[in-house]
Amino acid sequence: MTERMQTHAIRLIVFMMTLILTGVALYHPGVLVFDETHYVPAASGLLHFNDNRNPEHPLFAKEMIAVGMWLFGETPFGWRALGALVSACGILACFEIARTVFKSTRYALFTCAMILLNIIFVVQARLAMLDTYTYPLLAISAAFLIFSTGKTRTLPMAIVGLILAGIFLGLAAGSKWIAGIYAAIALILLIIARTNTTILSRRPIYDALIGRGFDSWPKLSMLSAGLIVGIVSLSVYFLTFLPYFFWPDEAFTSIGDLIDFQFRMYELQTMPLAENSYESEWWEWPLLLEPIWYHFETLENGNHEAIFYVGNPAIFWGGILALIGAVYQAVRRPNIRQIGIVSFFLASWLIFAILPKQVGFLFYHHGSAMLLAFVIASAIQGLPDGRFKTGLFWGSIAVALSLFVFFLPVIYAMEMPPTQWLIYIWMPGWT
C-alpha cells in the first residue's frame, strides 16, 4: 500500500470512528434536550414555512435541522442526524489541519483523539443545537484555508481553496455569530505572522498586505486572499437568510430589510437575560467549575437517564499544564507554529472576558476546548524524544479514554440505577 493510500485509509477510519461515536442511537433520548427546545421548533417552523421562532440567531443551523427532519421525519433521529454527520466532517477537517501543522500523521490522530475524548464534543454533536454545526463548519473552513496556502499550490487551486474556505466560514457564521469572532482572531494572527515575516526578510512593510512571493499564498497577496474569503463568506452568510424573502408573513422586500434584521439580532443577543442555574463566568470554563446537565430524567422504575455536558477532566485540567508547557517552549525556543496555536487558544477563550454578553455558559468554551487539543499535541511534540515523551503521549490517551468510558452513561443517556449519577458529581458546581 502506498503512502497516499494509507493516508486515505486513515482519513476514512477517522471519519467512520467519529460517525459511530456521534451517530449511535441518535433517536435517544426521545424528547427535546436542553436548547433543542428552542431550535427544533424553529427548524420545524422553517420546514413548514409557518412560524418564525428564535429570531435572535442566524438561520443556517436551523435550516440544516429542518433538512434532516425533511429527510428522516420530525423525530429525534431526524433533527439530530445531520449534526452528527457535519461533526464527523469537522473532525476529519481537524485531522487535515493537525497533519499540516504538526507535519505528522501520528500527532494529527492524537489531536483528533483529544477532541473526541473530551466528552463535550460528542455530547454536542448528538444534539440539534447551533454549536453542533458552527464549530465543525469553522474547522472545515480552516482546513480549506490552510490547503490554499500551500507553497506548491497552483494559483487556480489556491483560489478554489480560498473560495471553499469562504463558503464554509459563511455557513458557520450563518449558524452562530461566534464564527465571525474566530475568523477575526485568525485574521489578526495571520496579519501579525505575515508582518513578522516581512520584517525578518527585510521587505517593505506594505508587502505584508500587498506583497507576493511568501511561503503562504506565494502567488497571491494577503489582501487578495482576504478579499476572496471575505466577499465569499459574506455573500454565503446573507444567502442563508433567503427563506425570509419568501416568508408568508412580513417577508423581506429589500436588502435594507436584511441589513436591518442584523441589527435586530444584535439587540436580541445583547439584551439582559434572566439569571439561571447553569450560567458561568469565562474564567471558570478551563477549570470545569460549572458544567451543565443537558438532560436529566427520572424513569417510571425510579432509575435515571442523563446527559452531562462536562469536559474530560484529564484533558481540561491536564490541558492547563500543557498550556503552561507550550508557553514555556515557545518562549525558550520561539516557534511560529507553537506561538500561533497558543495565541489562538488564549484569544478564543479570553475574548469572552470583553464581549458584551450579560451571561456566559460552558458551551461558549466549546471551540476553545477543540483548540486545547492542538495545545496538548504541540506541548508533547515539543518535548525531547525519549521515554517520558512516549509515556506522556500514550498515557494521555489512556487516561482520557478511561474517563470517557467512565462517563459513557451520561454521554449517551444510558439508564442508570437511582444513585449512580452521584458518582459524576466531583465538585459542588457539578450538581
The residue whose grid cell reads 473532525 is 91
The answer to whether residue 240 sits within a structural domain is: yes
The answer to whether residue 5 sits within a structural domain is: no
Considering the chain, what is the average pLDDT of its residues?
94
The answer to whether residue 319 sits within a structural domain is: yes
SS3 per residue for 266-321: HHHHHCCCCCCCCCCCHHHHHHCCCCEEEEEEECCCCCEEEEEECCCHHHHHHHHH
For 192-223, what is each residue's pLDDT tens digit?
999 999 999 999 999 999 999 998 899 999 99
Tell me the β-bridge partners of 308. Answer: 293
What are the Cα distances from residue 23, in Å, to 239, 373, 410? Answer: 29, 22, 16
The answer to whether residue 149 sits within a structural domain is: yes
Task: Say yes or no to pLDDT of 132 above 70.
Answer: yes
For 56-101, what is each residue's pLDDT tens digit?
999 999 999 999 999 999 999 999 999 999 999 999 999 999 999 9
Structural domain total, the chain: 1
State the alpha helices, DSSP H only, in 149-303: 155-173, 178-200, 207-210, 222-239, 255-270
Q: Quick one: pLDDT band at residue 358, thresholds 50, 70, 90?
A: low
> What average pLDDT score do residues 343-357 get?
91
User: Which range of residues forms the domain containing residue 201?
Assistant: 11-267+285-430
Answer whether 246's CB lies under 8 Å from 256's CB: no
Largest CA distance in the chain: 74
Give the separation between CA 324 and CA 308, rounded to whole angstroms: 28
Q: Quick one: pLDDT band at residue 151, thresholds 50, 70, 90?
A: confident
Query: Backbone phi, then psi, for 309, in 5-degree steps?
Result: -85, 90
For 214-268, what is each residue's pLDDT tens digit?
988 999 999 999 999 999 999 999 999 999 999 888 899 999 999 999 999 999 8
User: Of 49, 144, 55, which Cα lies nearest the Cα of 94?
Assistant: 144
The answer to whether residue 4 sits within a structural domain is: no
The answer to whether residue 154 sits within a structural domain is: yes
Task: Say yes or no to pLDDT of 331 above 80.
Answer: yes
Which three cell numbers mark 427?
465538585
Answer whether 39's CB lies under 8 Å from 61's CB: yes
The residue whose grid cell reads 481537524 is 94
The answer to whether residue 90 sits within a structural domain is: yes
Q: Quick one: pLDDT band at residue 269, thresholds 50, 70, 90?
A: confident
| Residue 71 buriedness (CB in 10 A; 0-12 / 13-18 / 19+) | exposed
Query: pTM for the whole thing?
Result: 0.96
The answer to whether residue 6 sits within a structural domain is: no
Q: Quick one: pLDDT band at residue 51, thresholds 50, 70, 90?
A: confident
pLDDT at 1: 67
